[in-house]
Amino acid sequence: MVVLVVLTLVSAVLLVDSVVLWKFNDISGFCMIATSGTTYLDEPGDSACWDVATKEPLTSTMAGCMVLACAAIDKPISEEPFFGQCSAIPLGMAAGAAGIAASAASKALTNPDSKALNSIITGTLMLATLGCALACFGTSFSRWGEQEDQEGVVRNTDILNWDKCDYTYSDARGDYTAMTWFAALSALSVLVAAVSEWLAVKRSEPELAIGASPDIQEQFM
């Protein structure tokens, strides 16, 4: 019971934090630009990524454009950046929702005549929680972008700064790093919940066998 409460609380915090990051902090808007392909490569300031003579982009992705732009200002980067927050935050939302659903299923699905089905549903939700939480945790470290504009003013957005080419996870704000560690806590708590669920099923098996034995005996009398 305590394990399920912890799983619910951790999942709820992860879900709310991820939604706030995605919508209120407008990282969804950043990701729309970061994954837009060549849509915005002819904008003013993108001269490093645009061939004026042919009027064609020099690369097919915004990440590829960042490589060219950084090289143009003598801040070369070895590979295209991976905008990890664009994967991590949706995964955080999925993990949070799945964790709450798994906890609810574990508590609500108690029909003794459907134990196999109950276990399949609960196990599937727990597996989804674990996978999404671990993926959220892992991809969140590959964050690229910042939350300050060119004048250094903190804004609720995630900005592509064409003058900076050395982002690290340490540039992230507290609400973003909180998502990372609540994803880890979500993965840990769902593992504990899964083990507890499995042990509970194992403990109930002898009771079911004992309860069924008189009927079995009557069949042979």
Are 99 and 44 within one domain? no
219 within a domain of the structure (yes/no): no
51 forms beta bridges with 56
Q: What's the structural domain count of the chain?
A: 2
3-state secondary structure of 159: strand
CA proximity to 185, closest of 19, 21, 7? 7
Range of the domain at 126: 2-35+83-209
214 within a domain of the structure (yes/no): no
Q: What is the pTM of this model?
A: 0.81
**Residue 216 has what pLDDT?**
46
Phi, psi of 146 (to 5 degrees): -145, 175
- In order along its 221 residues, the chain shows pLDDT tens digits of 788 899 999 999 999 999 999 988 778 888 888 888 888 777 655 677 888 788 888 888 888 888 888 888 888 888 888 889 999 999 999 999 999 999 998 888 776 666 777 788 888 999 999 999 999 999 999 888 766 655 666 666 666 666 778 777 887 888 899 999 999 999 999 999 888 877 766 776 655 445 544 554 454 44
Q: 85, 78 in Cβ contact below 8 A?
A: no
**Residue 106 has what pLDDT?**
83
Are 96 and 44 within one domain? no
Distance CA 193, CA 8 (A): 11
Are 71 and 109 within one domain? no
Are 125 and 24 within one domain? yes
Q: 193, 186 in Cβ contact below 8 A?
A: no
**Residue 207 has what pLDDT?**
53
Are 152 and 169 within one domain? yes
Are 75 and 88 within one domain? no
216 within a domain of the structure (yes/no): no
Gyration radius of the chain over CA positions: 25
Q: Return the axis-axis angle of helices 115-140 and 85-108, rounded to nearest 10°.
A: 160
194 within a domain of the structure (yes/no): yes
Are 119 and 191 within one domain? yes
93 within a domain of the structure (yes/no): yes
**Residue 148 has what pLDDT?**
62
Are 130 and 53 within one domain? no
Are 76 and 98 within one domain? no
